[in-house]
Amino acid sequence: MNNGNISFFQLVLQAHALVQCILFLLIVASVLSWAVILAKRGLLARVQKASVNFENRFWSGGTLSDLYESQRRGREGDEGLGQIFCAGYEEFTRQQGSRTNPDDALAAVQRQMRVAQARELERLEGGLSMLATIGSTSPYVGLFGTVWGIMTAFIAIGNVKQATLASVAPGIAEALIATAVGLFAAIPAVVAYNFFTSRVERIESRFSTFSEEMIGILERGLRGGTASRAG
């Protein structure tokens, strides 16, 4: 090997087997994190847009029954606020038909809406734990590979009579690659986790606010009023 002309790939190919395994694991972790990042970005954007559109329709006036039928026909009630609304309204119609005490009926509607909201949040938060795990562990995995590589390099140096910079540099460089790859995997995962967590929290706040507003409307309907929206 010509130590004066060493490429990145040469260093990886000549690294210790354990270091190569660590590099492979880190690359797989990076690919998984980017897959989650791209999927989560699309999901959150879609739910955010659907929720804004639904709220505009919700407050446009008219009856909840008309909105419910529109949601069912358009198949737009499958996620976000539409899903929470449909779950609450379906329970509302069941309670109206059973002539249950208004307080008990309202509690049943609230439970259904909370369940629907919890399911939506669980779906939105899916994959975030993986990003957190990759972001927190990848630097340490890379550091372990670096420590092992440096230790192996120094053992090899100890077996020669005369060590020069040219003979030491490749071993140290191939060891440091593990730390670099660990950071390459960790940084996007940490940034994405913080960004997506913030977005999920904002969406959760929107869900909770809407649920409170809808419960107020349904309460009037259960107590003999009309379940309609403000124009």
* 3 has a pLDDT exceeding 60: no
Report d(CA 182, CA 66) in Å as an integer. Answer: 54
- Average the pLDDT over 167-193 and give the result: 85
* 230 has a pLDDT exceeding 50: no
Mean pLDDT (the chain, rounded):
83
- Average the pLDDT over 90-110 and give the result: 82
**Res 139: pLDDT:** 93
If DSSP codes are grouped into helix, strand and coil, which group holds residue 3? coil
Of all residues in the chain, what percent carry a pLDDT higher than 90? 39
Residues 71, 86: contact at Cβ < 8 Å?
Answer: yes
- Average the pLDDT over 79-99 and give the result: 84
Residues 6+ apart with CB under 8 A from 104: 95
User: 3-state SS string over 148-169?
Assistant: HHHHHHHHHHHCCCCCCHHHHH
Q: What is the rounded (10 degree) CA torsion for 205, 208, 213, 218?
A: 160
Report d(CA 145, CA 172) in Å as an integer. Answer: 11
Say how far residue 136 (Cα) sits from the centre of its chain. 15
Report d(CA 113, CA 42) in Å as an integer. Answer: 25
Q: Which two tokens stand for residue 19?
A: 């270091």
**Res 8: pLDDT:** 61
The residue ranking higher by pLDDT, 229 or 133, is 133
Report d(CA 229, CA 67) in Å as an integer. Answer: 10
Say how far residue 134 (Cα) sits from the centre of its chain. 12
- Average the pLDDT over 75-97 and give the result: 81
Q: Which two tokens stand for residue 174?
A: 């191939």
Residues 58, 216: contact at Cβ < 8 Å?
Answer: no
Report d(CA 172, CA 207) in Å as an integer. Answer: 53
**Res 152: pLDDT:** 76
Going by pLDDT thresholds of 50, 70 and 90, the confidence category of residue 57 is confident
